[in-house]
């Protein structure tokens, strides 16, 4: 681990190990080591560049304090040698993972489902290690800071953002429609805001909405990102609630912090369409690729993403120059057949694989035949490779490097020994001592293992004595804690009941206020209409009267439906289109279905809408001819003005019909004359 690794961090790393107690029963305490990144320019007392450039804090904390520190500091990693030291079972572990702050990851530094001993992992990566919990916690923190280990996760990289109602629409009442419409309208408004933020962040997402009266009841966004990458957080304000939650996996999974790229065999088929196939050292087909437009750099980048090639193969003899360039760029061994591979042999060798075209088939056949040629060699190398060495590294050194198995093993051992000691327990070898036989070496390793196990047993016995003493102390504390918990639980139930009653009364109060406000508005409207009918207009006295007008905000299907739901559109109504532009045939037919007495328009109708209304005999008059006076949601117009405008429209309509009949007659006569002339010419 270099100083550059730590300096790149701008958030702390936590290392945790059980100090005492048991997470499955007793109240555990934890050894906690915090690595805080520092800049050597800002901190003159920081360690030199040869060591980890970090400020180290050590403490012993309870589980509750540990979780509070995680919430406060929001570390990059919470590292441990076993994730189940922080949770007693899978459900509790999922709850812990859900409670972690956005961007904080739980890391098991000893591996995945079958972890290694922490001492072995620390020795392999040159990290100091000791058996005490504080030393183990520090080793875990430093390993995680060097990106060693697996992230423990119960969630996918998809996140659900749900926008929904923040309160109930109630049980009904005089203002129920308005109240419900307002809530659904606010949900729709908040949904559009969330969608806009996701689009500004260039995040891929799917949206599902449930439409209700006046807007949306809820909207669910499925976003291909983690919560920390999404510019939306949990919130609740008034009528709307926003909930952000990661998608749950089926179980617990372990994902390496750094993806390992295995050694592979690559088959290349060059040409107008370049194809590549990647096969593992066990003969498993990993991936296929083909493209008409890709250049050498793009194909190389794709191969690098799949693994590290040790053999590059072609299906023809001699090896094409393009394939040879790939082989040299990867410093890999080459393989080619003695003669060009026949098509029937390639079909037979690739019969169990799925490929998209002949080019992918040829590349895959080359890779599989190369594997067949080296399979026995791979097996012999594996048999000679010691258990602690990486088999693939030995194979790569022999096949691609051209060295002997013994030389590669010796080099890898030297590199491993040079990286650090094995925990400070290995003795230096005496160069004058004669070489041991394999049996003697086995006996020496077993004796060392027995010594380590005996030492570990003594340590466990001492820990057991301390634990027995601690159990006696905690049993008394447990009884007292149970008594206090019963009192606290009873208090919580009383408080929860009072809070529910308070929320119910507050909802009833809010609904009552809404009802009062609605009734006051209706009273004012009725008063205004009464004044209009009895005192404000001289035309009432002259018995010319007023006519009720129903307002439609726009000449659209949604606006007509909204007006129909608000106050109903029936035959004989006078409809006022506040914006008559833009309507099509379907919209005009929808309005015509209500059979209005007349339509007052503000703006020009489209030709299609004008034709539909004209054919249905519905008078359409301009707003300038029939002034409309509005009071809140109600509107009136003078009967005399309306009748005059309708009479004028009927006069113009009669002229229009005569003109259309004359035009049709002229067209028929012209078509008849043209037909007669054609027959005469024939």
Confidence of residue 622 (pLDDT cuts 50, 70, 90): very high
**CA dist., res. 594 & res. 328, Å (int):** 80
**CA dist., res. 324 & res. 327, Å (int):** 5
**CA dist., res. 572 & res. 365, Å (int):** 80
Using CA atoms, how far residue 565 sits from 171, 181, 600, in Å, is 19, 11, 20
Q: How many CA atoms lie within 13 A of 66 on its CB side?
A: 28
Residue 5 has pLDDT above 50, yes or no: no
Name the phi and psi angles at 286, rounded to 5.
-95, -50
Provide the pLDDT for residue 27. Answer: 78
* Residue-by-residue DSSP string for 612-654: HHHHTT--EEETTTS-EEEETTEEEEEHHHHHHHHHHHHHHHH
3-state secondary structure of 385: coil
Provide the pLDDT for residue 535. Answer: 46
CATH of domain 3-148: 3.30.420
Q: Euclidean distance between the first and final Cα of the chain, in Å?
A: 101
Residue 212 has pLDDT above 90, yes or no: no
C-alpha triplet 637, 639, 640: angle, nearest 5°: 120
Could you state, in order of their start, the residue ranges of all structural domains in the chain? 3-148, 157-256, 263-384, 475-536, 546-665
**CA dist., res. 218 & res. 637, Å (int):** 41
Lowest mean pLDDT among 108-122, 181-195, 527-541: 527-541
Confidence of residue 632 (pLDDT cuts 50, 70, 90): low
Average pLDDT over residues 392-417: 80
Residue 455 has pLDDT above 70, yes or no: no
Confidence of residue 557 (pLDDT cuts 50, 70, 90): very high
Confidence of residue 120 (pLDDT cuts 50, 70, 90): confident
Tokens (6 digits) for 236 = 């609740």
Q: Tell me: the pLDDT tens digits for 311-320?
A: 999 999 999 9
Q: Note whether 157-256 and 263-384 share their fold.
A: no
Residue 420 has pLDDT above 80, yes or no: no
The pairing of strands 308-313 and 333-335 is: parallel
Tokens (6 digits) for 8 = 């790149």
C-alpha triplet 148, 152, 154: angle, nearest 5°: 155
Query: Are 315 and 373 contacting, i.e. CB atoms less than 8 angstroms apart?
Result: no
**CA dist., res. 136 & res. 15, Å (int):** 8
Q: Tell me: the pLDDT tens digits for 158-200?
A: 888 999 987 777 655 556 677 788 888 888 988 999 898 888 8
Handedness of CA 203, 101, 84, 151 (dihedral sign): positive
Residue 670 has pLDDT above 80, yes or no: yes
For tokens 């360690």, what's the residue? Answer: 47
Provide the pLDDT for residue 287. Answer: 86
Higher-pLDDT residue of 119, 434: 119
**Mean of pLDDT over the chain:** 81
Tokens (6 digits) for 68 = 């509070």
3-state secondary structure of 365: helix
Fold of 157-256: Alpha-Beta Plaits (3.30.70)
Q: Tell me: the pLDDT tens digits for 422-437?
A: 433 333 343 333 445 6
Provide the pLDDT for residue 400. Answer: 84
Higher-pLDDT residue of 543, 83: 83
**CA dist., res. 240 & res. 167, Å (int):** 7
**CA dist., res. 216 & res. 208, Å (int):** 11
| Beta carbons within 8 Å of 108's beta carbon, 6+ residues apart | 79, 80, 81, 82, 83, 115, 149, 150, 152, 254
Provide the pLDDT for residue 48. Answer: 38
Query: Are 229 and 217 contacting, i.e. CB atoms less than 8 angstroms apart?
Result: no
Residue 142 has pLDDT above 80, yes or no: yes
**CA dist., res. 546 & res. 525, Å (int):** 16
Residue 620 has pLDDT above 60, yes or no: yes
Tokens (6 digits) for 310 = 């040790």
Confidence of residue 448 (pLDDT cuts 50, 70, 90): low
Provide the pLDDT for residue 629. Answer: 84
Q: Tell me: the pLDDT tens digits for 470-503?
A: 888 888 888 888 888 889 888 989 999 999 999 9
Class of domain 263-384 (CATH, top level): alpha beta
Residues in a beta bridge with 246: 159
3-state secondary structure of 116: coil
Provide the pLDDT for residue 148. Answer: 84
pTM (2 d.p.): 0.39
Residues in a beta bridge with 57: 34
Confidence of residue 247 (pLDDT cuts 50, 70, 90): confident
Average pLDDT over residues 87-106: 85
Closest residue by Cα to residue 108 from 75, 135, 143, 138: 143
Residue 232 has pLDDT above 50, yes or no: yes
Residue 45 has pLDDT above 60, yes or no: no
Handedness of CA 440, 446, 447, 448 (dihedral sign): positive
Look up residue 582 and give its DSSP letter: T
Provide the pLDDT for residue 269. Answer: 93
Confidence of residue 665 (pLDDT cuts 50, 70, 90): confident
Highest mean pLDDT among 128-132, 250-254, 363-367, 440-444: 363-367
Average pLDDT over residues 390-400: 86
Q: List, as own/partner pairs, every contact residues 474-480 make where C-beta atoms lie below 8 angstroms and the sequence separation is at least 24, other chains included.
A: 474/21, 474/26, 474/27
Closest residue by Cα to residue 312 from 357, 374, 260, 261: 374
Name the phi and psi angles at 513, rounded to 5.
-65, -40
């Amino acid at each position: 681990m270099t100083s550059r690794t730590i300096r790149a961090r701008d958030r702390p790393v936590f290392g945790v190990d059980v100090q005492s107690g048991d997470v499955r029963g007793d109240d555990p305490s934890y050894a906690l080591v915090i690595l805080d990144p520092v800049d050597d320019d800002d901190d003159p007392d920081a360690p030199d560049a040869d060591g980890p450039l970090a400020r180290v804090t050590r403490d012993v904390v309870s589980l509750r304090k540990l979780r509070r520190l995680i919430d406060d500091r929001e570390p990059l990693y919470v590292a441990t040698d076993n994730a189940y030291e922080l949770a007693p079972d899978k459900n509790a572990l999922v709850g812990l993972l859900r409670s972690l702050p956005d961007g904080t990851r739980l890391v098991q530094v000893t591996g995945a489902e079958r972890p290694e001993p922490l001492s072995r992992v620390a020795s392999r990566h040159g990290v100091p290690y000791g058996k005490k919990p504080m030393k183990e916690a520090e080793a875990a923190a430093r390993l995680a800071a060097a990106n060693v280990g697996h992230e423990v996760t119960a969630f996918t990289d998809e996140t659900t953002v749900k926008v929904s109602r923040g309160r109930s629409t109630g049980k009904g009442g005089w203002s129920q429609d308005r109240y419900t419409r307002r809530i659904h309208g606010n949900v729709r408004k908040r949904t559009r805001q969330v969608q806009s933020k996701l689009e500004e962040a260039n995040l891929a997402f799917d949206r599902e909405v449930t439409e209700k009266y006046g807007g949306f009841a809820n909207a669910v966004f499925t976003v291909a990102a983690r919560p920390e990458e999404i510019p939306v957080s949990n919130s609740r304000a008034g009528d709307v609630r926003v909930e952000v939650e990661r998608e749950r996996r089926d179980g617990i999974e372990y994902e390496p912090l750094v993806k390992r790229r295995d050694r592979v065999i690559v088959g290349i088929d060059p040409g107008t369409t370049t194809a590549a196939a990647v096969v593992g050292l066990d003969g498993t087909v990993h991936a296929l690729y083909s493209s008409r437009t890709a250049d050498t750099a793009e194909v190389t980048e794709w191969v690098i993403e799949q693994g590290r090639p040790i053999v590059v193969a072609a299906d023809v003899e001699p090896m094409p120059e393009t394939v040879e360039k790939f082989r040299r760029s990867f410093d890999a061994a080459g393989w080619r057949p003695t003669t060009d591979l026949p098509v029937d042999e390639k079909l037979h060798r690739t019969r169990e694989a799925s490929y998209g075209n002949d080019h992918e088939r040829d590349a895959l056949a080359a890779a599989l035949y190369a594997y067949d040629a080296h399979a026995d060699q791979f097996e012999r190398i594996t048999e000679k490779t010691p258990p602690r060495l990486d088999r693939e590294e030995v194979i790569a050194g022999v096949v691609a490097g051209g060295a002997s198995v013994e030389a590669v093993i010796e080099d890898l051992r030297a590199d491993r020994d040079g990286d650090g000691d094995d925990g400070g327990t290995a003795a230096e070898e005496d160069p004058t001592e004669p070489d041991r036989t394999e049996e003697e070496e086995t006996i020496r390793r077993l004796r060392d293992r027995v010594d380590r196990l005996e030492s570990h047993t003594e340590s466990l016995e001492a820990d057991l004595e301390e634990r027995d003493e601690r159990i006696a102390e905690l049993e008394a504390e447990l009884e007292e804690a149970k008594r206090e918990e019963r009192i606290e639980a009873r208090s919580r139930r009383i408080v929860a009941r009072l809070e529910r009653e308070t929320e119910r009364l507050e909802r009833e109060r809010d609904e009552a206020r809404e009802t009062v406000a609605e009734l006051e508005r209706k009273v004012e409207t009725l008063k205004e209409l009464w004044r209009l009918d009895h005192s404000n207009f001289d035309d009432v006295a002259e018995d010319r009267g007023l006519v009720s007008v129903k307002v439609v905000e726009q000449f659209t299907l949604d606006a007509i439906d909204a007006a129909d739901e608000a106050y109903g559109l029936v035959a004989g109504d006078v409809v006022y289109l506040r914006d008559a532009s833009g309507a099509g045939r379907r919209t005009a037919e929808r309005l015509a279905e209500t059979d209005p007495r007349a339509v007052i328009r503000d703006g020009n109708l489209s030709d299609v809408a004008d034709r539909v209304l004209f054919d249905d005999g519905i008078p359409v008059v301009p707003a300038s001819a029939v002034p409309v006076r509005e009071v809140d949601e109600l509107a009136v117009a003078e009967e005399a003005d309306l009748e005059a405008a309708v009479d004028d429209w009927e006069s113009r309509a009669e002229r229009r019909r005569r003109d259309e009949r004359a035009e049709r007659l002229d067209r028929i006569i012209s078509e008849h004359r043209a037909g007669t002339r054609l027959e005469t010419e024939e």
